[in-house]
Amino acid sequence: MSNAEVAARVGVTPEWIERKTQIRTRRYAAASQAASDLAVKAAHRALLGAALDAGDLDYIIVSTSTGDAPSPPTANLVQDALGAGNAACFDLNVVCSGFVYGLALARSLLRLHPGRRALVVAADVYSRILDFTDRRTAVLFADGAGAAILGEVPAGYGVLDVDLRSRGDAHHLIGVPAGGSRLPASHATVAAGQHYFRMDGRGVSEFVLANVPAVIEAFVRRAGLDLDEIDHFIPHQGNGNLMTELVEASGLGKARTHRTIDRFANMGSASVAVTLDHAVHDLNDGDTVLLVGFGGGISVGSCLLRWADPWRLRRRDDAARSGAQDSIRGAWR
């Protein structure tokens, strides 16, 4: 969906959208698609990249605030579509911070059970809940999904640390007022447009710039690094102009900031996941990668990675499997 297509619906110009957001295009799901459909596509690609089968998964965590339905969990639909019958699965709703929160939760599960694997999928379909009379939000949001598989890596690599923050006192800045137990669906709530997504964009920007830089600095230093030692920065792709200000305010000017906002807009919890996927080819063995999500709640999630060359890991795993097969053949003889 180009800016011209969206601009015609909301009553602005394409130039206005790009100037305010740095967005040029975005993607909307087909009418027949829901969050689980996008999640399954992303999961298949992650499994292919990891050379794994769905049966190899032990956990499936789906981050979404726009699930297929209030019940059952979207994760169960993803599990069924993948044929991942061995995996425990559940949903996670932390809005735009969800992918980072999902990584943190997966890391905890894998530390309890070494050798297991977790699929973390972030999928959102915001086009279904946008009010196209509200230009402040309608031009920003879109649909997408991204996925990652977590497993064992060499010591010193992978997830080095995570930091999760919540500020419920700012919950009013982002939300969908109706459709839950406080305001169940009714003719009155639908007529009032209370099932649409609402956001105080200025309030969110002020909150992010006033709070997130300090969170980032404290987190990086707690991990024993200086801000100058961060090689790659992958923030939530909320608004291009806000990202530029956040990089400057956080002292991350020496890091390479990865952006997909111009092509895909704000995909909710999928933004960090999709941007990480697009950054993979620019990551080298040993690089430090900082992921930061922030969104409704309000919540902030940070994750620090030490990147491991996936081909080196693949060779290690292949060698381990080969050794195991030789041992089995030896025992059989």
Give the residue numbers annotated as catalytic, written as ranges: 96, 236, 266
What does the alpha-carbon distance between residue 90 and residue 73 come to, in Å, rounded to a whole number?
6
Alpha helices in the chain (DSSP H): 3-10, 14-21, 35-50, 74-82, 98-112, 135-138, 187-191, 201-222, 240-250, 261-264, 270-279, 310-332
Q: If DSSP codes are grouped into helix, strand and coil, which group holds residue 148?
A: strand
What does the alpha-carbon distance between residue 240 and residue 238 come to, in Å, rounded to a whole number?
7
Give residue 223's Cα distance to chain centre. Answer: 22
Q: What is the DSSP letter of 141?
A: B
Is residue 273 within 8 Å of 292, Cβ to Cβ? no
> CA distances (Å), 184 to each of 171, 254, 296, in order?
19, 48, 20
Q: What is the torsional sign of CA 91, 25, 136, 290? A: positive
Strands lying side by side in the sheet with 232-235? 158-166, 299-306, 288-295, 232-235, 256-257
Q: Amino acid identity, residue 219?
A: F
